[in-house]
Amino acid sequence: MSTPSLHEPQTVLVTGASSGIGRDLAHIFADGGYDLVLVARREAALRTLATDLTSRHRVRVQVLPRDLTQPETPRTIHQHLTDEGTVIDVVVNNAGFGLRGRFADLSLENQLRMIALNVSALTHLTRLFLPQMVDRNRGGILNVASTAAFTPGPLMAVYYATKAYVLSFTEALATELAATDLRVTCLAPGPTATEFATAADMEESNLFRLGTLPSMPVARAGYDGWQRGRTIVVPGLVNKVSVGSMRLAPRFLLRRVLSFLNSKRPKTAEKR
């Protein structure tokens, strides 16, 4: 799939665009000549990003401050864009969050919100915009999952399960659309230097203490993989090796290892 020409502008919708991988993907798509529709809850951050994108890349940028945990939001976004004649060629489902802790201890409401955002909104947006892509036979879907998709995740049970859904859904969709010119890709990053770790209470976890990748090369890997028609993209050699190991390791061992990685290292007493 080629980048759009000046005579054939294309538009990408990016969710979770206010920071991290979503923000970087917005910059990369804009650099490729795509117009953008940016979706996230934080309006101020979106407008700052939109100003930066238009000044740097001379593309059209529309800001839609919306809460995708609300079940009606995907449909209102689709209706708004349809009413104003904006054609979406690519959907980047990047929005998502995680929570660390025992399933029985974490807020039920927050865990249901996680499912609503990580699974339901992603599925809803894809279904709303995909038929028009199929009719035009161009564009595609870039879903952001995680290396968490390849394993159960004690202490982040719901988050890992949602990312497993994203991976499975994307792989199936890519196969269904294999005879078309559409590209469907799942970006599965490992620990990345974004706001995710702080929001998920993962900064002091054993997993994030092992190190993170910067978000820009992660986003670039996802974009390049999507352009090349790759179904699964795992950025970074260490992450690739980890995923390969997960596929071979016994499940009981995976559960123990991930329980340790998702735990916080005990604090040592200060010497006086």
Q: Is 159 a catalytic residue?
A: yes
Number of H-type helices and E-type strands within the chain: 11, 9
What are 65's strand-pairing partners?
40
- Relative to beta strand 213-214, strand 232-233 is unpaired
- In sequence order, the 6+-apart residues with CB closer than 8 A to the CB of 243 are 147, 150, 188, 234
- Count other C-beta atoms under 10 Å from residue 128's C-beta: 18
Strands 35-40, 11-15: pairing is parallel
Contact residues for 163 (Cβ-Cβ < 8 A; gap 6+): 96, 118, 145, 146, 148, 149, 188
| Given the residues 159, 160, 165, 223, the one annotated as active site | 159
- Return the exposure string of 221-243: e unless at least 16 CB atoms fall within 10 Å of the residue's CB, then b: bbbebbbeebbbbbbbeebeebb
Active site residues: 159
